Amino acid sequence: MPLDNIINDNEVNKSSSIENDLAEPSAAAYLYSGISASTHAHVTHAIVPTKAILVHVYAKHPKVPPTRTLEASMEEALGLAEAISLDMRYYQAIPIQKINPSTLIGSGNVENLRQIVAAEKVELAVFDTILSPVQQRNLERDLKCKVIDRTGLILEIFGRRARTAEGRLQVDLALLKHLRSRLVRAWTHLERQRGGFGFTGGPGESQMELDRRMIDTRIMKLESDLDQVKRTRSLHRKRRMRSDTPMVALVGYTNAGKSTLFNRLTQSDVFAKDQLFATLDPTIRPVKLPNGRTVLLSDTVGFISNLPTQLVAAFRATLEEVCEASIVLHVRDAAHPDSDAQKQDVLSVLDQLEIDHDVEFLKPTMIDVYNKVDLLPSDQKEALSNMTQREQSAAAVSAQTGEGIDRLLQTIQDALFDNATLYQLQLPLEAGDLLAWCYRRGVIANRENTDAGCVLKLNLSQAHYDYVSQYVDKNALQLC
């Protein structure tokens, strides 16, 4: 479906478009992206792929080496575009040394792109970077087609992939927050103020303020609904904690193979595909360790570089599963040339979630899982295998073939249960935070309630013992 049929600044009756779209949250999101309203779940007819071009913009500094290879960055950008089935007619990488505040890429590059857009009858230009609202408006005016940036593209993908009610709530919230700052694009025909005694605001200004209030109202409703989701998830986590079953969470860069590894470990059939953001909704399944103990494994949404902050905030209710986990498995694509840069992106998102990165617990809590070793040359594969054999908090696996899975399960078991000593702890009633920490770490072997609190038997490693002993009296923590 051509973009101008969805939203055209010169033809659509804008005074009613936003009000109508806000009646259905996802529709308001697609008002911004403009790719195809039929991506919404309620529409079932076939979609004609939108003709598009891709522009990857990157900073070029002779003294600052890039953190990623240009080839890998272009491949990732094309993968994002393919995730929404665009008919890609042209793609180009544009280096910039100085940012043009008006169009980002300068008038010469804009003119070249304008000619390509006209020749190919392109309906959408995707810029693989972050555009300001002014830059986006100016590029649309000069190129005479719809323009979205990396944030808009990722939000569009999430809008298509969300399946559960919780996922749609989170995506709608992120999209509306992004749309709110870009309303100026939809009201350029009303932006001129009208003269007259005592009249200081034109109709465009009034309409935008009205739309902002409507969006703010919808955002508050979605945030309230997500608070309820957060409370529900919290209740579920407390129930799991009372069962003394440790939680293990999968995190990693998108398309690193988390869902495939999840299926391999749990013998499940969760949707897994070689594409970016194949799964959004969290899934939890039990996994049996070599010693017969059971842990719960949680699969979460994948991360990516320049992940929109709106999505991190909106998906916080989902990602908090990671915060409550006893073990975090950081799944890495060992065959990817930018694996180290991807690791930093994942850790950056985890930092935004305020996950406890206490130095004492970083190694036993975070396990690096190097996936896709079957794609490595034999020499690199051997070197990686030797490295993971030396490291207590690393494992090399192939989720596709099953190689290294037994070693990974043993690593999880060692981090949770082995090298532990049995202690008895008398805990007062007011030490609820420490009790919750013990449940999250899965170290409680037995609990007896007393009038003054409870008596716990704990399987503590040396690092765990050092942590617990900071918050209790020495006489309260004794060897059994």
Amino acid at 161: R
Each residue's pLDDT tens digit, 8-35:
333 333 333 333 333 333 333 333 333 3
Whether pLDDT at 167 is above 80: no
Confidence at residue 238, expressed as pLDDT on a 0 to 100 scale: 67
* 335 and 382 inside one domain: yes
* 316 and 460 inside one domain: no
Domain finish residue from 416, 440, 457: 416
Residue 215 lies in a domain: no
- Which helix H or strand E contains 258, and what residues bound it? helix 258-266
Coil, strand, or helix at residue 300? coil
Confidence of residue 39 (pLDDT cuts 50, 70, 90): very low
* 410 and 429 inside one domain: no
CA 285, distance to chain mean position in Å, is 21
Write the CA distances from 467 to 60, 415, 434, 471, integer angstroms: 46, 16, 10, 8
Which residues does 216 contact at the CB level (< 8 Å), separation at least 6? Answer: 180
Each residue's pLDDT tens digit, 267-295:
887 666 655 665 666 788 899 988 788 88
* 35 and 163 inside one domain: yes
* 343 and 441 inside one domain: no
Residue 103 lies in a domain: yes
**DSSP line for 147-188:** EE-HHHHHHHHHHHH--SHHHHHHHHHHHHHHHHTTGGGGGG
Q: What is the CATH number of the domain that holds 473?
A: 3.30.70
- The domain of 280 spans 244-416
Range name among 72-81, 150-159, 435-444 with the lowest pLDDT average: 435-444
Each residue's pLDDT tens digit, 388-410:
988 878 999 999 999 999 999 99
| Mean of pLDDT values over 242-262 | 84
Which residues does 101 contact at the CB level (< 8 Å), separation at least 6? Answer: 134, 135
- The C-alpha R_g of the chain, in whole angstroms, comes to 26
Domain count, the chain: 3
Whether pLDDT at 304 is above 90: no
Q: Between β-strands 453-460 and 421-428, what pairing exists: parallel, antiparallel or unpaired?
A: antiparallel
Number of separate helices (H) and strands (E) present in the chain: 18, 14
The torsion angle over the Cα atoms of residues 210, 214, 220 and 222, rounded to 10 degrees, is -150
- Percent of the chain at pLDDT > 70 equals 75
| Mean of pLDDT values over 325-342 | 90
Q: If you average pLDDT over each of 188-197, 349-358, 425-434, which comes out highest? A: 425-434
* 460 and 431 inside one domain: yes
d(C-alpha 298, C-alpha 475), whole Å? 37
Confidence of residue 356 (pLDDT cuts 50, 70, 90): very low
Residue showing tokens 């280096």: 95
Confidence of residue 240 (pLDDT cuts 50, 70, 90): low
Residue showing tokens 């070197």: 383
d(C-alpha 457, C-alpha 448), whole Å? 9
Domain finish residue from 400, 416, 432: 416
* 372 and 387 inside one domain: yes
Confidence at residue 193, expressed as pLDDT on a 0 to 100 scale: 45
Name the β-bridge partners of 295: 287
Residue 220 lies in a domain: no
Each residue's pLDDT tens digit, 83-121:
888 899 999 999 998 899 999 999 999 999 999 999 999
Confidence of residue 419 (pLDDT cuts 50, 70, 90): low
Q: What b-and-e string marks burial along 395-422, b requiring 16 or more CB atoms within 10 Å of the CB?
A: bbbbbbeeebbeebbebbbbbbbeebee
* 299 and 446 inside one domain: no
Mean pLDDT (the chain) is 77
* 263 and 328 inside one domain: yes
- Percent of the chain at pLDDT > 90 equals 29
Residue showing tokens 């594969």: 381
Domain finish residue from 145, 180, 206: 206
Q: What is the CATH number of the domain that holds 291?
A: 3.40.50.300
Residue 470 lies in a domain: yes
Helices (H), 355-469: 359-365, 378-390, 405-416, 432-441, 462-469
* 251 and 392 inside one domain: yes
Question: What tokens appear for 117 in the block?
Answer: 């857009």
Beta-strand (E) ranges in 210-271? 247-252
d(C-alpha 91, C-alpha 468), whole Å? 56
User: What are phi and psi for residue 63, nearest 5 degrees?
Assistant: -100, -10
Q: Between β-strands 247-252 and 327-333, what pairing exists: parallel, antiparallel or unpaired?
A: parallel
Residue 134 lies in a domain: yes
Q: What is the CATH number of the domain that holds 101?
A: 3.40.50.11060
Each residue's pLDDT tens digit, 420-474:
788 999 988 888 888 888 887 778 888 999 888 899 998 887 777 878 888 888 7
Confidence at residue 317, expressed as pLDDT on a 0 to 100 scale: 59
* 270 and 153 inside one domain: no
* 473 and 393 inside one domain: no
d(C-alpha 113, C-alpha 106), whole Å? 11
Residue 218 lies in a domain: no
Residue 232 lies in a domain: no
Which residues does 289 contact at the CB level (< 8 Å), separation at least 6? Answer: 295, 409, 412, 413, 416, 417
d(C-alpha 256, C-alpha 361), whole Å? 24
Residue 38 lies in a domain: yes
Confidence at residue 280, expressed as pLDDT on a 0 to 100 scale: 65
Write the CA distances from 307 to 82, 124, 212, 303, 390, integer angstroms: 18, 21, 24, 7, 33
Helices (H), 83-145: 107-120, 133-143
Name the β-bridge partners of 95: 58
Confidence at residue 366, expressed as pLDDT on a 0 to 100 scale: 86
Whether pLDDT at 363 is above 50: no
- Which helix H or strand E contains 242, and what residues bound it? helix 203-242
Name the β-bridge partners of 54: 91, 126
Question: What tokens appear for 244 in the block?
Answer: 């003394």
d(C-alpha 411, C-alpha 289), whole Å? 10
Other beta carbons within 10 Å of 95:
12
Beta-strand (E) ranges in 239-382? 247-252, 283-288, 294-299, 327-333, 366-371
